[in-house]
Structure 1
């Protein structure tokens, strides 16, 4: 699959690298050609380009820029993103005295904002719950169980593309409903990351029903 990556930060490199290793044709796009080239060379991507060219390249497009920047960037690339699956991995989080909180600047989830500014794209919320280091594992498996990747999508086409990308890196897709539920994934990220920062283990709070002791 052709994948355009918007951004040159940690998530762009980690997910772009995972998809490159899985055999996808990844192009890294950035405002700085030098930074994009450096990331592309490091992960063995097919190439690097401007943000606009990366958006036009991909059957799928990963938005891996800060959440505050994402809506403006995607809105400016709306023409290039028509009929493409646009994956939002951002988290609009701000530190407060009471832990991490969702940024209240947006009335909807970041994914919802992207869908509003690029209405002819197929926006998906996915890959936002784990630290960047998890996506560098080949594959991300824990206690012999593949990592589950929750996602929200409104169309069957976007869901199919997302599940292909999730499965190709050795993970299990976990559909969580339509894009209207993307805010729940962003809130879950705030909770989980806050627990990690405090030394807790979020997975301990969500045991499988099959793990419950029998009476």
Structure 2
């Protein structure tokens, strides 16, 4: 699959590297061409270029930029993103005295804001629950079980593309409903990241039903 990646940071490199290793055609796009070239070279991507170039390249496009910049950035690329699957892996969170809080205005998810900014694209929320380092594992598996990747999508073809990208790096797709439920993934990320920062292990709070008494 052709994948355009908008961004040159940790998530762009980690997921781009995983997809490149899986045989996908990855192009890194950035505002700084030096950084885009450096990231592409480090992960073995097929190429690099501008944000617009990466958007136009991808059948699927990963949005891996700071959450606060995301709506404006994709809005400016709306023409390039038309008809494409746009995967939002961002986490719109801010630190407060009471821990991490969502920074979405309390109205909707960032993913829904992105969908409004690019109405002719197919936005998917995915890959936002794990630290970038997890995506450098080949494959990401724990205690012998492949990592599950929750995602939210409205469009069937975009959901299928996302499942292909998840499965191709050795993970298990975990569909969580339409984009209206993306707010739950963003809230889960805020909770999990806060627990990690506090030295806790979020997964110990979710035992398998198979491990619980009936």
**Which bracket does the TM-score occupy, shorter chain normalised?**
over 0.9
Matched, 1:10 2:10: yes
The Cα offsets for residues 149-175 of structure 1, whole Å up to 9 and x where unpaired, read as 000000110100000000000000000
The Cα offsets for residues 114-161 of structure 1, whole Å up to 9 and x where unpaired, read as 100100100000000001110010000000000000000001101000
Contact 2:30 2:51 in 1 (8 A): yes
Secondary structure in structure 2 of the residue aligned to 1:80: helix
Offset of residue 106 of structure 1: 6.5
Residue in structure 2 matched with residue 88 of structure 1 by the alignment: 88
Distance 2:142 2:57 in 1: 34
Residue in structure 1 matched with residue 178 of structure 2 by the alignment: 178
Task: Give the root-mean-square deviation of aligned CA atoms.
Answer: 0.9
The Cα offsets for residues 22-64 of structure 1, whole Å up to 9 and x where unpaired, read as 0000000000000000000000000000000100000000000
The Cα offsets for residues 76-121 of structure 1, whole Å up to 9 and x where unpaired, read as 0010111100000000000011111101437321110110010010
Residue in structure 1 matched with residue 61 of structure 2 by the alignment: 61
Distance 1:78 1:209 in 2: 43
Residue in structure 2 matched with residue 126 of structure 1 by the alignment: 126
Structure 2 residue runs of 5 or longer lacking an equivalent are none
Distance 1:128 1:156 in 2: 20
Q: Give the length in aligned residue pairs.
A: 214
Q: Which runs of 4+ in 1 moved over 4 A?
A: none
Residue in structure 2 matched with residue 20 of structure 1 by the alignment: 20
Distance 2:194 2:5 in 1: 27
Residue in structure 2 matched with residue 112 of structure 1 by the alignment: 112
Stretch deviating more after TM superposition (182-191 or 95-104): 95-104
Residue in structure 1 matched with residue 75 of structure 2 by the alignment: 75
